[in-house]
Amino acid sequence: MVLEFRDEGLYCPAGRFHIDPWRPVDRALVTHGHADHSYPGHRHYLATHAAGPVIRHRLGEIDLEGIAFGETRDINGVSVSFHPAGHVPGSAQIRIEHKGEVWVVSGDYKTTPDGLSETWEPVRCHAFITECTFGLPVFDWLPEATLAAQLDDWWRSCRSEGRHAAIGAYSLGKAQRVMTMVDASIGPILTHGAVENTNAVLRAQGVDLPDTIRVTPETDLKAHPGALVVAPPSALAGPWLRKFGPVSTGIASGWMALRGVRRRRAADRGFVISDHADWKGLNAAIRETGATRIFATHGYTATFRQWLAEQGYDAQIVETEYGDDLLEAEEAEA
């Protein structure tokens, strides 16, 4: 096998490196900057040039080497390259080839363009390690233009009622996607510190984002009536939001497709906006790889594995520590 599944993460024995390991290792190839894929403590890191600044922002002074999308590296006789995953800016799938056998680790991915992240590219392989966060038919994403119209209508309605529109979105990827989707002429966009810190990193890389205003203790909120407030989801449930006065709260997440999750979140609005592939996207991605062996990692693994097996794939489940919980924990501390 080109890759082995070990307690510390995915491991390439021939190349002597790991991919997105969750325990400290000597050499880690990292798909993207979210906390559940880029852990601290590794001796050496390799990630795309576009993902590197956010990873450094999160992890501090680390030994991080950059690589361009599509560039091939030889690591101890193993050919390695990174290819766009469409999840968040800089996110990559990692292609590993050894003795003519090709495996691809998807990390997290989204197959539909969002105008912010590098667009996902199919990579032909023999074995494909796929997430299945939203691996049920109920997850069927709306077109980007429809989602943008929903956000704009909500924001305009809030302004007309004299309220702020406060939306919870992860600080890397989702928050910036929301900000690029909305019509910025509707009003000012205020941001939580965790979101604005990430904005600054991405702007320094040349990512085009609308003008935003960081919320600090000195911010005069009365000077920005009817603003769109973008913050981590955890901030909407704490004291940070109370200073804004009348607000309508929204959550941007693929999980908003499930009524039970919407109720538990107790937000006024749920916007089904995800940085992961939906059911159709997962199936299309797997078909386009041409792979016959599929390893399902995080998400609805049992259901998705059974479905793949019924379609004729050699499908297995791999237990990992990837998932959204770590994102929530990290952003609650930001």
Torsion angles phi and psi, residue 87, rounded to 5: -85, -60
SS3 of 106-120: the string is CCCCCCCCCCCCCCC
pTM above 0.85?
yes
- pLDDT for the residue numbered 151: 98
- pLDDT for the residue numbered 119: 97
CB-CB contact of 70 with 84 (8 Å): no
The reply to whether 216 and 166 lie within a common domain is: yes
Q: Which residue do the tokens 């693929």 mark?
A: 254
- pLDDT for the residue numbered 222: 86
Q: Which two tokens stand for residue 56?
A: 């450094």
- pLDDT for the residue numbered 144: 95
The reply to whether 105 and 192 lie within a common domain is: no
The reply to whether 131 and 162 lie within a common domain is: no
CB proximity list for 288: less than 8 A, separation 6 or greater: 122
- pLDDT for the residue numbered 324: 58
Task: Quote the CA–CA distance of 94 and 45 in Å, as a whole number.
Answer: 14
Among 49, 50, 51, smallest CA distance to 20 is for 51
Domain limit, last residue, from 271, 291, 307: 271
For the chain, what is the domain count?
2
The reply to whether 162 and 258 lie within a common domain is: yes
The reply to whether 52 and 106 lie within a common domain is: yes
Q: Which two tokens stand for residue 53?
A: 């600044």
- pLDDT for the residue numbered 262: 63
The reply to whether 320 and 288 lie within a common domain is: yes
The reply to whether 10 and 116 lie within a common domain is: yes
Q: Is 138 exposed, middle or buried (0-12, 13-18, 19+ CB in 10 A)?
A: exposed
- pLDDT for the residue numbered 264: 63
Among 317, 300, 330, 313, smallest CA distance to 137 is for 300
Task: Quote the CA–CA distance of 186 and 288 in Å, as a whole number.
Answer: 40
The reply to whether 259 and 314 lie within a common domain is: no
Tens digit of pLDDT per residue, the chain (334 long)?
A: 899 999 999 999 999 999 999 999 999 999 999 999 999 999 999 999 999 999 999 999 999 999 999 999 999 999 999 999 999 999 999 999 999 999 999 999 999 999 999 999 999 999 999 999 999 999 999 999 999 999 999 999 999 999 999 999 999 999 999 999 999 999 999 999 999 999 999 999 999 999 999 999 999 988 999 999 999 998 988 889 988 999 999 999 999 998 777 666 678 999 999 999 999 999 999 999 999 999 999 899 999 999 999 999 999 999 888 875 444 434 433 3
The reply to whether 171 and 116 lie within a common domain is: no
| CATH number of the CATH domain containing 130 | 3.60.15.10
The reply to whether 130 and 167 lie within a common domain is: no
The reply to whether 215 and 120 lie within a common domain is: no
Domain limit, last residue, from 245, 271, 297: 271
* Residues β-bridged to residue 65: 46
In the chain, where do the E strands start and end? 4-6, 9-12, 17-19, 27-29, 44-48, 64-67, 72-75, 78-84, 92-98, 101-105, 127-132, 164-168, 189-191, 213-214, 228-231, 247-252, 269-271, 293-299, 314-317
Range of the domain at 73: 4-138+276-332
| CATH number of the CATH domain containing 251 | 3.40.50.10710
The reply to whether 170 and 238 lie within a common domain is: yes
Q: Is the dihedral of CA 68, 119, 262, 162 positive or negative?
A: positive
- pLDDT for the residue numbered 251: 95
Domain limit, last residue, from 228, 245, 271: 271
- pLDDT for the residue numbered 263: 63
Task: Quote the CA–CA distance of 92 and 67 in Å, as a whole number.
Answer: 11
